[in-house]
Structure 1
Amino acid sequence: MERRTFLRGAVIGTSAAAFGGTLMRGAAYAAPAQPGPGPYGALGAADANGIHLPGGFSSRVIARSGQTVPGTSYTWHSAPDGGACFADGTGWIYVSNSEINPGGGASAVSFSAAGTVTGARRILSGTRQNCAGGRTPWNTWLSCEEVSLGYVHETDPWGVQPARRRDAMGRFKHEAAAADPVRRTVYLTEDETDGCFYRFTPDTWGDLSSGTLQVLKAGSATSGSFSWATVPDPDGSPTVTRNQVSGAKRFNGGEGCHYANDTVWFTTKGDNRVWQLDLAAGTYQLAYDDSLVVGTDAPLTGVDNITGTSSGDLFVAEDGGTMEICVITPDDVVAPFLRISGQSASEITGPAFSPDGRRLYFSSQRGTSGSSSAGITYEVTGPFRT
C-alpha cells in the first residue's frame, strides 16, 4: 500500500465550539500510520488502579458501576460506554452511555475547576444498548442505540431539558456521531459487518427534529473519491437503511467518529482500520490499518472509540486487543499511550478530554470481572500535548 499525504488540521471559528474551545494545529500526514516511539515515552509499571502510564501521568477512579459516585448520592450505571466532555462555567461535565439492553441510557458527572466531583445524575433512561454517540456544538449529547432499528436520542448533560428521540436521523444499528459545524451536518457510523457511513443534515442547524439522511457512496478500494446519496426511507422499514441506495460503500463494523477541520475520522472494528475523509476534496483513505503495519506486531488492534486533542493527536481505544488506548500522532506514528492490566475480558470505552485538554476520561466497560455490572470510569491527568 502506498503512503499518501493528508491533512489533520485545526479546528477554527465556529467548529471550535464542538470541542470545548480546543484548537487543533495543521500538520501533514502520510497514511497509513506505522509504529514508532510515542510522544510521551514508554509505559511504566501498573499503578494502584492497574493502569500503565508514561512518566508524569497519574490515574484515579471516578465511578464504579452499581456504586455511588464518590461525593454524590448517585449510583453509576452498568456497562459505561461512549462519552464526551462539556464546559460548565469554570468546571466541566463528563457524560457516559450505558450499553445494556433493556435499560440503557446515559449519566453525567460534574466537576469543579479543580477537578473535584460536584454532582452526578441520570440524563437518559428507558432506551436500549446505548453505545457511542457524539456531542453537538450547541452542547447536547447524542446517545446512540446499537440495536437493529435503533434511534439517536438528544440529551441535556445538565439534566434540565428532557431527552428527545431524533427519528429523522434514521433507524439502524447506530454507533457514533460527529458534528460538522462548517457543513452543518452530523456524521454517523453503523455497527454492522456490512454497515454504511451516513450524514444527517438538519433543515435548521441546531434542531435535529427534521432533515435529510444520506449515505456515503464510493468504490470498493481503500481510497478514492466519494459522494452522498439520500436514503429514501430513514425509518429502515421494510428495507434497512444500508440496503436502500445502490453503490453505498460497506464498512466492517463502524465504531468511533471524530471531526476536525474539514476532516472526519471513523473506525471499523471488524478490520482494525481508521478511515479518513477529506471533506473539502471529497476523497477518502486509510489513516491506519493493522494489516499494513510493517516489520513488527501492530500496536493497535480491536480498534474502537476515537477522539482528538488540541495537538492534532488522535487517541484510539481498544475493544479487547491488549486493553490499550493508542495515540496516532501528526508525524504518522502509532504508539500505546496507556494499558489496563488484569481486565482482558473488558473493553476501553468513552475516551474524552476535559475542555482544557489536561484530563482524559474513559471507562473499562466490564472491569476486572468481565461483567457489565463491574464497569469502572477513570480519569488520567498529566502533561498532554497542547
Structure 2
Amino acid sequence: MPENGQPATRRQMIARTAALGGALAFAGNLTELFTGTAAAQNLGHRSYGPLIPDPNGLLDLPKGFRYRVLSREGDPLRSGEGLVPSNHDGMAAFAARSRDGHARVHLVRNHENRVTAKIPVPTVEGLTYDPMGKGGCTSLALGRKGEVIGERVAIAGTAVNCAGGPTPWGTWLTCEETEDRAGTNGYTKDHGFIFEVDPVDPHRTGAVPLTAMGRFQHEAIAVDPGRGVVYETEDAFLSPFGLFYRFLPEKPRGGTGSLRAGGRLQAMRVPGVADLSSVQETGTAFQGVEWVDVPDPLATQTPIRFQDFGPKGITHAQKLEGCYWGGGCVYFVSSFARSADGSSADHFGQVWRYDPSARRLTLVVVFGPDTDIQLPGESPDNICLAPGGGLMVCEDGNGAQHVFGVTRRGEVYALARGAQNIGTPQEPEWGEFAGVTFSPDGGTMFVNCYTPGTTFAVTGPWRG
C-alpha cells in the first residue's frame, strides 16, 4: 500500500517490479515486431537489472550504463542562432555523409512548441515557414567519440512539431500536430503539414510544406522503402477521432525533395469496423483492408476526419501516435481510447500491424488495463525497434516516467527513469520521454526528456 493508504496502481507496481530487476509481459505476439537478423537469433533478454538512482538527479539507469547530456533547453546553440528551444519531442539519428568531416552521426530533434512556448525555435532566414510559429527542429552533429560538435536550427516557424519519421534517403519528415489556420493564435499561414528536413544541410530542404500529404493533426510517419508509400498517423483525441493514412507519391523513392511533386492521400477503411477501439483481442485480423481517396487533403472547409467518405464511412481511432516500418509491414500505435470521450470501448494502448502485401490488419499488442500489473504502462507514445532485437517504448502517462524495453518473449523491463522533478517535493512530477532512437551502429540510444528539454545519449552493455 502506498503512503496515502490507497491500493497501488498498475503503474506503481510496474515501476517497483522493474526497479527490482523483475520482468512483466505484454499481451500479444511480440515475435511479429522483431524481424531483424539479430532478433531472429536471440529469443530476448531479461532486465538489465535494477535502476540505480542518479546522484546528479537527471537519469536513472541500470548498472554499467552511462549517459551523456548532449543538449538542454536554454543553453546557447553552438551555431550562435539563439537558445536551445523547449519541448524536445520526436527524433531520429542518421549516419553522417562523407563530406561531413569529423561528424559521425546527425540527430534531428522536434520541438513541440505552441504559441505559449517558453523558448521558441529561433527564426533563421531561408529556414522559416511562418515567423509567428514557435516550433521546428534542431540538428545536432556528433563526433567520433559521441561529443557534440555542432548544433543548429534545421527548420523554424512551424507549429507543434510532435513526431515524424526518417526517409530511406536520409532526411527527416517533421509533423505538425495542429490544424490552426492563418489568423488563429497569431499565425500568418495555415498549419497542419509535414515538412522535409535535411539533417546535414537544412537549406537544401528549406521550409516547404508538403501540402499533398494532407493538412491535419499529424503525429508520425513511416516509409515503405520498397514501394515508397508513406504511412501517416493522426493524433486526434476528440471525436470524431483520427484516421490512418497512406500517401502514394508521384515520385516514389525519389530522394530529397521528391515528395513536393505531389501524390494521392488515402485513408484506411476496415470493412465493418468504424472504430478500432472496438477490437480488444490480440491476434484479431482483418483481410481486405480498403484505401479511400481523401476528398479534400488540404481541409479547406472541413477537417479530413469530418469529411464525407461515402455510404461505407471510414475507420477512426483515438490518439494514433507512433508509427514505424519493419519486416515488410507498418506498425502504428493507438495511445489510448476512452468511451467517455466517444470511443466505442476503452483501452490503455494498442499496437497494430498492417501488411500491405496481404492487405491485412492485425492487433498485435494490448497495453493495460490499469488494474492488471502483468501488462506494461498505459499510453504508449514513441516506439522504436532496438538493433539487438527488442522494442523501446516511451510511456506517456502520470507518475514516474520510464523508457521500457520489451523482449521478443514479451518481458518488460525499465531501461531508464526520469529523475528531474518538475513538481514539488510534496507533489513530484516528471517530464515524459520522447524521441527514442538508436545510432546507426546500434551502440547508443538517444532519447529526449520533454520537460525540461534534455537530450541524452545512453551507452552500456547492450546485449545482442
Task: Give % identity.
Answer: 33
Structure-2 separation of matches of 1:146 and 1:49: 31
Structure-2 separation of matches of 1:324 and 1:5: 20
Pair 1:332–1:243, CA change in 2 (3 A): same
- Mapping for residues 367-378 of structure 1, pairs under 5 Å: 367=452, 375-378=453-456
Question: Letter of the aligned partner of 2:265 in structure 1?
Answer: L
Structure whose alpha-carbon radius of gyration is higher: 2
Q: 1:108 aligns with which of 139, 142, 158?
A: 139
Structure-2 separation of matches of 1:269 and 1:252: 8
| TM norm structure 1 | 0.85
Question: Letter of the aligned partner of 1:273 in structure 2?
Answer: G
Deviations 1:156-193 (A, max 9, x none): 11124123210010000001111111231111111102
- Mapping for residues 62-211 of structure 1, pairs under 5 Å: 62-69=70-77, 73=80, 75-89=83-97, 91-101=104-114, 102-148=133-179, 150-158=192-200, 159-161=202-204, 162-193=206-237, 194-205=241-252, 206=254, 207-209=258-260, 210-211=262-263
Q: What's the CA shift for 1:259?
A: 0.9
2:451 matched residue in structure 1 = 366
Structure-1 separation of matches of 2:415 and 2:390: 11
Of Structure 1 and Structure 2, which has the larger fraction of its residues in strand? 1
2:297 matched residue in structure 1 = 234
User: Does the Cα contact within 8 Å between 1:319 and 1:347 map onto a contact in 2?
Assistant: yes
Q: Note the residue ranges of structure 2 that are not aligned, 5 or more in a row.
A: 1-25, 98-102, 115-132, 180-190, 338-347, 423-428
Q: Does 1:347 align with 2:378?
A: no
Pair 1:97–1:28, CA change in 2 (3 A): same
Structure-1 separation of matches of 2:334 and 2:48: 26
Structure-2 separation of matches of 1:46 and 1:91: 28
Q: Note the residue ranges of structure 1 that are not aligned, 5 or more in a row.
A: 12-22, 30-35, 368-374
1:330 matched residue in structure 2 = 408
Question: Letter of the aligned partner of 2:268 in structure 1?
Answer: L
2:266 matched residue in structure 1 = 214
- How many residue pairs match? The answer is 361
Structure-2 separation of matches of 1:356 and 1:340: 25
| TM norm structure 2 | 0.72
User: Does the Cα contact within 8 Å between 1:7 and 1:28 map onto a contact in 2?
Assistant: no
Q: 1:300 aligns with which of 377, 402, 412?
A: 377
User: Does the Cα contact within 8 Å between 2:51 and 2:61 map onto a contact in 1?
Assistant: yes
Question: Letter of the aligned partner of 1:256 in structure 2?
Answer: G
Deviations 1:246-305 (A, max 9, x none): 442221111111111112222222343232314133333333323358852643223111
What is the RMSD computed on CA atoms of the aligned residues?
2.6
Q: What's the CA shift for 1:334?
A: 2.5
1:316 matched residue in structure 2 = 393
Structure-2 separation of matches of 1:37 and 1:295: 23
Structure-2 separation of matches of 1:150 and 1:302: 23
Deviations 1:336-360 (A, max 9, x none): 2211122425221111111111111
1:286 matched residue in structure 2 = 363
Q: What's the CA shift for 1:7?
A: 2.2
User: Does the Cα contact within 8 Å between 2:353 and 2:364 map onto a contact in 1?
Assistant: no
2:48 matched residue in structure 1 = 40
Q: What's the CA shift for 1:49?
A: 4.2
Pair 1:143–1:105, CA change in 2 (3 A): same
2:306 matched residue in structure 1 = 243
Structure-1 separation of matches of 2:31 and 2:381: 22
Structure-2 separation of matches of 1:324 and 1:113: 29
Question: Letter of the aligned partner of 2:195 in structure 1?
Answer: H
Pair 1:122–1:335, CA change in 2 (3 A): same
1:275 matched residue in structure 2 = 351
Structure-1 separation of matches of 2:401 and 2:394: 8
Question: Letter of the aligned partner of 2:316 in structure 1?
Answer: R
Question: Letter of the aligned partner of 1:95 in structure 2?
Answer: V
Question: Letter of the aligned partner of 1:361 in structure 2?
Answer: F
